[in-house]
Structure 1
Amino acid sequence: MKLVNTSVKRPVGVIMIVLAIIALGVVSLRNLTIDLFPKIELPVAVVATSYQDAAPQEVENLISRPIESAVSTVEGIETVQSQSQSGSSLVLMMFANGTDLDQALLDVRESVDQVKGFLPDRAGDPNIMRFNPDQLPVIWVGLTGKDAPALTEIADEQVVPFFERQGGVGSVTVEGGKEREIQLILDQAKLQQYGADAQTIMQSLRSANQSASVGNVEKGNKDLQLRVTGEFESVEDIKQTLVQTQTGATIQVEDVAEVKDTFKESSSMTLVNGKPSLVLSILKKTDSNTVEVASNVIEGMDEIKRDLPEDVNLEVVIDTSEFIQMSIDSVVDNILIGGAISIFILLLFLKSVRATVVIGLSIPIAIISTFALMYFTGETLNILTLGGLALGLGMMVDSSIVILENIYSYRQKGHSLVDSAIKGASELAPAVIASTTTTLVVFLPIVYVEGIASDLFTPLALAVSFSLIASLVVAVTLVPMLSSKLLSKAMEDSGRRYWFDRFLGWVNRKYKSVLKWVLKHRKTTIAGTVIAIAASLGLIPLIGAEFIPSADQGQMEIRVETDAGSSLEHTTEIVEKVNEKLTAYESAIETSYVTAGGGGFAMGGGGNQATYTMQLVPAAERDKTTTEIVQDIDEDLQTIPGAEITVSSMDAGMGMGDPIQIQLNGPEHEVLRVLSGQVVNEISSIDGVYNPESGASTGVPQMNIEIDDDEAAMYGLSQEQILGQIQLQFTGQVATQYREEGQEMDVTLLYPEDERSTISDLQDMKIQSPQGAVIPLEEVAAFKEMSGPVALQRQNQQPQLNVTSQVVDRDLASVVTDVENKLAEMQLPEGYSYEIGGQAQDMAESFADLALALVFSIFLVYAVMAIQFENFLFPFIIMFSLPATVVGVMGGLFVTGLPLSIPGFIGIIMLAGIVVNNSIVLVDYINILRRKGMDRYEAIIEAGQSRLRPILMTTLTTILAMIPLGLALGEGAEMQQPLAVTIIFGLGVSTIFTLLLIPVVYSLFDDLTGKIVGRKKRKKA
């Protein structure tokens, strides 16, 4: 080959190119984005709409349904879901994979615009956006110390602007802060005394707080802009605002109301490690590096702390980059360990430091080259792409080993160093290219895989492919060049490693005797293989299956839910009891962040809810896994009365949803609520089901006020007028805004709390008619106490309710089977049905896609070998090494106790391209010997013995380099463990079958071919 010839004769050029690639790789590595997982593209759009003070039923009928109908015709939509809750509607559209989401969002916007005019007047403008899983905080920072108002001012004025200036920071949100408000507490008696009402006061405040441009006048040769300024300059101005009463008298606001400069009533409470605190959640920019952003924020904390008051403390609550950094470090450590093992194996076989260096150089060069290729293809540095490098580590030296061995054989025949390098490399370069191609083509069917499996598989496939291509280029260029310069005395038999040579000789003799036996007992060998494959397939029910192994990230969540309608004070009391229980786990808990009354992760939470987000100490520093700690805490907290408490672990960064999600569908929400409770009871008894929950929240107690239109009309009142007065009395109303030192705050009219806290206050409330008459509310309204739903869900324009569950101590597939059996026994009413969603559905779809990819991969491997051999029979013989792989894969998963998962399935696909390489080497050499005139039997024995050494060398370097990943050493290694175990056991066992079964299959097919050819010859004769 010209490439080999040029590389040997122009060593300086090769070295310069290698140095340039290394420099490019190093620069690329510095600029690669570091993250935990590859970017998972979710084609999901969201339409969010507010509808103030509306019940969930109204929101569903007047907002959600019209929007659902409008967007359901948009091309590419697979599922439309809606959630209608008090005051807001959320409509989610899930598109088919591959949909152009930018165009889809334009189509959604056009569809929503068509119905926007038909929405109620009080409804806000629909907000249309894409759902981005990256838009989760990178780091949470707690601000503790002074009272909340002072902390809020410090956060708004100093901390937030400072953090937003840090590199890569997108936005900073403050939770738990106090919002300043000017409250006007109205005095009913004085209002009646002066003949004033709330509406008049509001109009007076708005009129007095205005500034506007009113035109221009000339002054000399200039135009002066005229501006009337009348905005409030102080709280005193608000107090002294003049109000014209209906009787014609003029009074000031302070005559009928107490003006208070205070803070809005807080609906939530935030605690960090048990102390009241503000929490700043920091989001990164879309293209920013998670680890770098977190580092910038943490470094900046030291700087800003110097400017804060002494009694104010700033501390990291949760840093998601910690686990990412530890995971990346552990994968890098595994790569280094695997690389060291590979180098040791090479040294053991080659008996030469120089020869080992020549081959060993292909590892760092291939890895560094891969970094450059990853950068230009837009991939991130994550545990899967680095895991791909770790997995491909042993395979990187395979091509170099084959080339070097052939160069050495020419050297032994007396050729010069340069001639040996050129002839040895050129002779086997086509075979090495074909062998590498069989490994690469298994990744091509990725185009048929969709969803999360594709998002995870593609970056790993690219990383492995890039590294193998780079190692192939090194094998046919750098290895021959270095061999011609460095191997003058390499690999000479000088007695070194003599013990290993004796061991290899013993292995070779044993193999020869076993090979002779299997060739004499071909039927027994075939039967034994079939029995082994059947037995391994019988292990499948015992192995089970799961979607993706969960990494022990040390994050957990506790959700506390008291009785519906409970006050924030009551929920806080329960939180304090939970805190007392958690003191027993202080050694395992690094930080704890709780939000009571909504906010944080508790989307839409009310005063009866509290959510803990907890970070445990690293896995290496605790005796128990996150799951075990979750179970222990859950058991302890169930003893707390008055609340429903759920403890669960969190898999941050993947966004895969609940392992089990049962979607109940039917025409009536109430029936679905009953059915969901029955389903929870039924599946609770299944082993492995943990914390089953119904999406049907307990109804919120509510008082329905039914206005008598006829009675109201007698007093000249409309329903809207009565509604406005009730709203003002019980929730207050913003009259205007007051600006002070660049800050804007609401000026709100309120009635005293003791006049708006009981049912009798509501019934006795004074309603003022347009004629000035004052009547109690109960004169024109009836009151009915009832329970109202918290939220109403729909999917594809039909009511839906979800039952979700975690899975513990069992594989997902077997638990799903038991759940489906339980559900099949339930007699659902006519018109009601269920579907299994969540990770269970994703697993089933991904496995189906990967199975199709496996079939195509096997076909492509056969096609490549057929091209290489220019024959259909020999590739067919080689393919017999594939079924035997099942024995190793299933046996390995069974021995290690790992269920089959997406990484494991990807390992099986990779094996389809790896295991045939040894068979190619063996069959190819048998054919070479037979062409030289050797008898078939002798050729098989000779080929087996002579190829045993390179087969063992390439197999051991591949397998042993993966041992660190197979042992799941370090943080986050759980993701690659099934993949590594699959390849280690699959390749190991298939190598044994390759060395023994393939010769038997070869001889059987050779006999069959001989009979067919002989029969044809006799017919011709």
Structure 2
Amino acid sequence: MNIARFAVPRLNAILFVTVALCLIGAWTMFSFPVGILPDVTFPRIVVIAEAGERPPRLMEVGVSRPLEEAVATVEGVRRVRTKILRGAAEISIDFDWGLDMLVAQQLVTAKVNEARSALPPETTIVVERMNPTVFPVLGLSLQSKTLSQSELWSLATYSLKPRLGRVTGVARAVVQGGRVPEIAVEVIPERLAAYHIGLSDIEQGLVQGNVVRSVGRIDRQFQQYQALVSGETVSEADLKRLVVAQRTGVAVTLDMVATIGRGVEDRTTVVTANGAESVLVNIVRQPTANTVSVVAGVERELADLKKTLPPGTEVSVFYDQSVLIAEAIASVRDAVLIGAALAVVILLLFLGDLRATLVTAAIIPATVLITFLLMRVAGMTLNLMTLGALAIGVGLVIDDAIVVVENIFRHLAQGVERGAAVELASQEIAAPMISSTLTAVVVFLPLVLVTGVAGAFFTALAVTLVIALMVSLLLALFVSPSLCAAFLKVRPGAAEHGRLFERVLRGYDKLLRGAMRYRRVLLPLGIAAVLGSTAFFGSRLGTGFMPTMDEGAFVLDYKTLPGTSLAESDRLLMQIETILKDTPEVRSFSRRTGAELGLAITESNTGDFSVMLKSGKRRAIDAVIEEVRGKITERVPGVEIEFVAVLQDLIGDLAGAPAPVEIKLFGENQAQLEDTAHKLAAKIEKVRGAVDVQSGVVESGPELTARIDPTRAGRLGLTTDAVAAQVNGAFFGTVATQVLEGDRQVSVRVRYPQAFRDSEARLSGVSLRTPGGAYLPLSAVSTLENIPGTSEINREDQRRLLSITAHLEGRDLGSVVRDVQKIMRAETLPPGVTYVISGQYQSQNESFTNLSLVLALAILLVFGVMMFQFGTFKAPLVILAIMPLSLFGVTLSLWATGTPLNVSSFMGAVMLVGIVVKNGILLLDQAQKAEQSGMDREEAVVHAGEVRLRPILMTTLTAILGLVPLALGIGAGAEMQKPLAIAVIGGLTFSTLFTLVFAPLFYVGFGGKVKHP
């Protein structure tokens, strides 16, 4: 069937459908879910268990191990990793890709519930499914000159949090920092002894006195009344009058044995913003929500909230993910416009006809808008990968239209009547055009085999490109011939080519005919030279995992020395805040001490800075980080630091690859592991390009242990548990009850005053009450021991491990790892200690292995498509022979620009398989037709070169120029696709030259019989 014969008479209907689809596509642009990364289900679930202040060794045995053993039996579990701190354990469960993670979460929760009976009764457990929406899209800081930190916390918790949580698309608002208000009941030990009252008596008195209980119903005069008995406490005055004990006929009220006043929970974290103590409110979006719309909605709600804030109180933004997204969208828009403009220039130069140029260029906006519509129907989101695909495709989607319009234009110039020229030209080109587009599409099919972060992210890019290419093919087949029939006018006898192209054509004809005469020498020499050069440049390429981006923000993780108090850590970190304030590129920052971004559990001497840089013209983020790192190292030597980009940190958390380089040491002897880790970390620090090297040894502060003598305690009727409960009540205190203040419940904590909790002597003197009613100090049944701090315990698949990590600066991942491998091979590890090099290097190797398989399968699929097109082995084998030669352009371009071979550039090589054959199909299809019409093989292939030179050059140049904005890294987010663009530009440039020269030589050299129709 001749598609043009069907389409041209139906021009109005086709244009109506096309315009309608474009308008719907334009409308869907404004309703797209927008995020920073593709909406991917990551196969990872995190279980966080907290059990008081138990030392890591007890957490390992009593909490972590039972949970690990339970969740390891869930079907599909690939790896179980655990991080154990004092009182907390974080268990990360990695599953096979492709599983239903909602079902997996339910199975994990069920196994956790089964294991609860083996855990300490006070253990609390949270099970979270990991995905990009777990992390905040907007960070707000609340500061005040007039309100206390507890008042700020109340304002954030009871005012900002509920109102912002109701904004469309917000999953939750998370409050960090501030001081949680409570009522402090501080007992007077001397009076307790005088009245023979223990802490348990006071706690019991508060529980039994502050009661509201329904006791029945009473009917009276046609009405029913609820009968209540109430001793509800609604104020501090009520608390003071509460009777807590009866002694010798005297009612002992609470104010007789304790002081009652407003207080706050013990401080375990410090949170600041821009150097001032703050309360942070982090906004987490729903999985399907539009990040930009969510942030805009929150900002509108904030505008109303600010009108009601107390005087001197301000809310400001310290992190905004929508800024990067908005800049990325603007960058894609600019890349599309620049690419389209350059394509139009190429069309004008080669065709010299404004109407033909406009007919061809109209395909670009139509393709982009209809692609938006189909992406929305497919449930896709706008993100860095899908937007990047549109920017990559702007020069590719016009290829088919160029081929159609150029062929029609050529026939019209030869004097063929317009209708006949449209039908004849469209029929000539339809089969090879469909075949060449399908080759560009099928290369992406094997991507379903790629797992991990690379597969998840680049599959989104590939699907978007496939949609765009198929849309452009349909538009070229149906719309372009119709527009040509309606609007294209070429004067019969007009020159087919401009003067400039005539010269190019004559030069190419002379080159090709000359090469034919010496093909037996040129082919082997040329192939040997190209393949040798490819090997030369390829061996000098660096390697990496994912491209690094200048996203305008970074995270600075830190650790002060083990055992450093919260106040001293705060003092040290204020110096880092000063450094950040003095850095001109820094727009805002926040600090968490004793807490971190995401779900990570932390010690009080650890935390992070979240730093946002100014938009616009500034130094690159790497230069800013290098300067800040140098100043911190010089001025604050007692702090261990690590820099990561926000997205890199997020992807590392999701993928379980926290650093580019990670050496996992396995063994059962913790001291041996720590000693080995310290030695190896010291050596790795000397590797060029390795920075922020961490040994993985994380020590908690020292412990002051009251060692109970069971014999002495037993004689007095005391158990260790009973002693611990009484000392805990004295020091930590116990929340005995709660007081209702308006619509808020305030905890009432009972414990000793601060003066009785500030020294070893005070600890030894804590008064214990025996079952017989006698009182004695803690020292009567125990001795105090100073124990050095214990280390954080890490486990993987129920084995202990330590992970040495390093980041990169000024050197590629592969080169750094090669040096690390030399160190590891030269090191003699203690018996029982083994190692594995992991991190992003392992992810890189897995991705390269998968992409190599994808490349092989893509070549196989492309060969199959060409077999259907040509019906013989000859032409497909000729085109296939050009593919390895295109790798020369890839390696040369990567080497010349200093770009490493990473997942992005590897994807460029995979894309090339589908792109480079398009030119070969156009050329050899024409040669085959000419040969079938009776031409000599050599003359046929030269004729084909002359006929197809212009469309080949036009499609190649538009594709290359369309990728130029990405290759230059212009705009936010362009770094993710920059290596891909560089690889495609280099490969396409040289493959086009090889197709135009070597393909004809191969074709003639293969010989064989011609298949005549």
- Kindly tell me: are residues 265 and 560 of structure 1, through their superposed partners in 2, closer, same or farther at Cα, counting changes over 3 Å? same
Superposed displacement of residue 76, structure 1:
0.7
Residue equivalent to 1:475: 476
Query: What secondary structure sits across from 1:969 in the alignment?
Result: coil
Range moving further from structure 2, 388-397 or 575-584: 575-584
Runs of 4+ in 1 over 6 A off after TM superposition: none
Residue equivalent to 1:819: 820
Q: Which of 624, 631, 635 is equivalent to 2:626?
A: 631
- Kindly tell me: are residues 927 and 601 of structure 1, through their superposed partners in 2, closer, same or farther at Cα, counting changes over 3 Å? closer
2:478 is the counterpart of 1:463: no
Q: Deviations over 1:698-729 (max 9, x none)?
A: 24200222211111111121212211111112
Residue equivalent to 1:47: 47
Q: Deviations over 1:3-44 (max 9, x none)?
A: 422211122211111122112211221221122221232111
Give the total of aligned pairs: 1002
- Kindly tell me: are residues 602 and 849 of structure 1, through their superposed partners in 2, closer, same or farther at Cα, counting changes over 3 Å? closer
Q: Which of 548, 551, 560 is equivalent to 1:550?
A: 548
What is the distance in 2 between the residues matched to 1:908 and 1:939? 31
Residue equivalent to 1:512: 509
Give yes or no for contact 1:346–1:953 (8 Å, CA) kept in 2. Answer: yes
- Kindly tell me: are residues 789 and 133 of structure 1, through their superposed partners in 2, closer, same or farther at Cα, counting changes over 3 Å? farther
Give yes or no for contact 2:182–2:746 (8 Å, CA) kept in 1. Answer: yes
Superposed displacement of residue 140, structure 1:
0.8
Give yes or no for contact 2:664–2:804 (8 Å, CA) kept in 1. Answer: yes
Residue equivalent to 2:529: 531
Residue equivalent to 1:1016: none
Query: Amino acid of the residue matched to residue 527 of structure 2?
Result: T
- Kindly tell me: are residues 427 and 938 of structure 1, through their superposed partners in 2, closer, same or farther at Cα, counting changes over 3 Å? closer
Query: What secondary structure sits across from 1:134 in the alignment?
Result: helix
Query: Amino acid of the residue matched to residue 306 of structure 1?
Result: K
What is the distance in 2 between the residues matched to 1:165 and 1:116? 34
What is the distance in 1 between the residues matched to 2:687 and 2:491? 65
Q: Which of 613, 621, 644 is equivalent to 1:649?
A: 644
Gaps of 5+ in 2: 653-657
What is the distance in 1 between the residues matched to 2:592 and 2:377? 43
Query: What secondary structure sits across from 1:371 in the alignment?
Result: helix
Superposed displacement of residue 599, structure 1:
5.2
Give yes or no for contact 1:697–1:790 (8 Å, CA) kept in 2. Answer: yes
- Kindly tell me: are residues 666 and 826 of structure 1, through their superposed partners in 2, closer, same or farther at Cα, counting changes over 3 Å? same
What is the distance in 2 between the residues matched to 1:979 and 1:751? 65
What is the distance in 2 between the residues matched to 1:428 and 1:494? 21
What is the distance in 2 between the residues matched to 1:545 and 1:158? 50
Superposed displacement of residue 652, structure 1:
2.0
Q: Deviations over 1:172-194 (max 9, x none)?
A: 12222221111111111111222
Alignment of 1:747-766 (within 5 A): 747-766=748-767
Range moving further from structure 2, 673-682 or 110-119: 110-119
What is the distance in 2 between the residues matched to 1:535 and 1:348? 33
Residue equivalent to 2:170: 169
Query: What secondary structure sits across from 1:717 in the alignment?
Result: coil
Q: Deviations over 1:955-988 (max 9, x none)?
A: 1111111111111111111111111111111011
Residue equivalent to 2:122: 122
Q: Deviations over 1:492-538 (max 9, x none)?
A: 7379xxxx822222222222222223222223322222222222222
Give yes or no for contact 1:331–1:383 (8 Å, CA) kept in 2. Answer: no
Q: Deviations over 1:566-606 (max 9, x none)?
A: 22221122122223333431x21100212234355694334
Superposed displacement of residue 414, structure 1:
4.3
Give yes or no for contact 2:413–2:495 (8 Å, CA) kept in 1. Answer: no
Residue equivalent to 1:621: 617
Residue equivalent to 1:108: 108
Give yes or no for contact 2:433–2:922 (8 Å, CA) kept in 1. Answer: no
What is the distance in 2 between the residues matched to 1:389 and 1:356? 21
- Kindly tell me: are residues 904 and 971 of structure 1, through their superposed partners in 2, closer, same or farther at Cα, counting changes over 3 Å? same
What is the distance in 1 between the residues matched to 2:338 and 2:492? 25
Query: Amino acid of the residue matched to residue 56 of structure 2?
Result: P
Give yes or no for contact 1:40–1:452 (8 Å, CA) kept in 2. Answer: no
What is the distance in 2 between the residues matched to 1:787 and 1:241? 44
Range moving further from structure 2, 277-286 or 213-222: 213-222
2:130 is the counterpart of 1:131: yes
Range moving further from structure 2, 975-984 or 715-724: 715-724
What is the distance in 1 between the residues matched to 2:249 and 2:558? 56
What is the distance in 1 between the residues matched to 2:235 and 2:491? 91
What is the distance in 2 between the residues matched to 1:563 and 1:479? 70
Superposed displacement of residue 465, structure 1:
1.1
Instruction: Report the TM-score when normalising by structure 2.
Output: 0.96
Residue equivalent to 2:142: 143
- Kindly tell me: are residues 239 and 471 of structure 1, through their superposed partners in 2, closer, same or farther at Cα, counting changes over 3 Å? same
Superposed displacement of residue 491, structure 1:
8.6
What is the distance in 2 between the residues matched to 1:107 and 1:383? 33
Q: Deviations over 1:266-319 (max 9, x none)?
A: 222222212222211111122111111112222333332222233111211111
Residue equivalent to 2:609: 612
What is the distance in 2 between the residues matched to 1:84 and 1:649? 23
Query: Amino acid of the residue matched to residue 5 of structure 2?
Result: N
Give yes or no for contact 1:352–1:490 (8 Å, CA) kept in 2. Answer: no
Give yes or no for contact 2:193–2:775 (8 Å, CA) kept in 1. Answer: no
Residue equivalent to 2:655: none
- Kindly tell me: are residues 153 and 68 of structure 1, through their superposed partners in 2, closer, same or farther at Cα, counting changes over 3 Å? closer
2:259 is the counterpart of 1:258: yes
What is the distance in 1 between the residues matched to 2:979 and 2:462? 16
Residue equivalent to 1:229: 230
Gaps of 5+ in 1: 1014-1021
Give yes or no for contact 1:76–1:95 (8 Å, CA) kept in 2. Answer: yes
What is the distance in 2 between the residues matched to 1:170 and 1:237? 39
Give yes or no for contact 1:602–1:611 (8 Å, CA) kept in 2. Answer: no
What is the distance in 2 between the residues matched to 1:829 and 1:770? 52
Give yes or no for contact 2:411–2:425 (8 Å, CA) kept in 1. Answer: yes
Give yes or no for contact 2:414–2:493 (8 Å, CA) kept in 1. Answer: no
Query: What secondary structure sits across from 2:498 in the alignment?
Result: helix
Query: What secondary structure sits across from 2:539 in the alignment?
Result: helix
What is the distance in 2 between the residues matched to 1:718 and 1:598? 35
Superposed displacement of residue 79, structure 1:
0.3
Query: What secondary structure sits across from 2:647 in the alignment?
Result: coil
Residue equivalent to 1:275: 276
Superposed displacement of residue 66, structure 1:
1.1
Query: What secondary structure sits across from 2:884 in the alignment?
Result: coil
Query: Amino acid of the residue matched to residue 761 of structure 1?
Result: R
Range moving further from structure 2, 846-855 or 932-941: 932-941
Give yes or no for contact 2:766–2:778 (8 Å, CA) kept in 1. Answer: yes
Residue equivalent to 1:942: 943
What is the distance in 2 between the residues matched to 1:277 and 1:491? 78
Alignment of 1:595-606 (within 5 A): 595-598=592-595, 600=597, 603-606=600-603
Query: Amino acid of the residue matched to residue 568 of structure 2?
Result: H
- Kindly tell me: are residues 246 and 716 of structure 1, through their superposed partners in 2, closer, same or farther at Cα, counting changes over 3 Å? farther
What is the distance in 2 between the residues matched to 1:633 and 1:241? 57
- Kindly tell me: are residues 876 and 515 of structure 1, through their superposed partners in 2, closer, same or farther at Cα, counting changes over 3 Å? same
2:673 is the counterpart of 1:672: yes
Query: What secondary structure sits across from 1:538 in the alignment?
Result: helix
Q: Deviations over 1:296-351 (max 9, x none)?
A: 22233333222223311121111111111111211210111000100111111111
Range moving further from structure 2, 822-831 or 239-248: 239-248
Range moving further from structure 2, 510-519 or 911-920: 510-519
Residue equivalent to 1:19: 19
Residue equivalent to 1:1017: none
- Kindly tell me: are residues 400 and 319 of structure 1, through their superposed partners in 2, closer, same or farther at Cα, counting changes over 3 Å? same
Query: What secondary structure sits across from 1:883 in the alignment?
Result: helix
What is the distance in 2 between the residues matched to 1:871 and 1:3? 25
Percent identity between the aligned chains?
A: 31
CA RMSD of aligned residues (A): 2.1
What is the distance in 2 between the residues matched to 1:153 and 1:444? 54
What is the distance in 1 between the residues matched to 2:139 and 2:41? 24
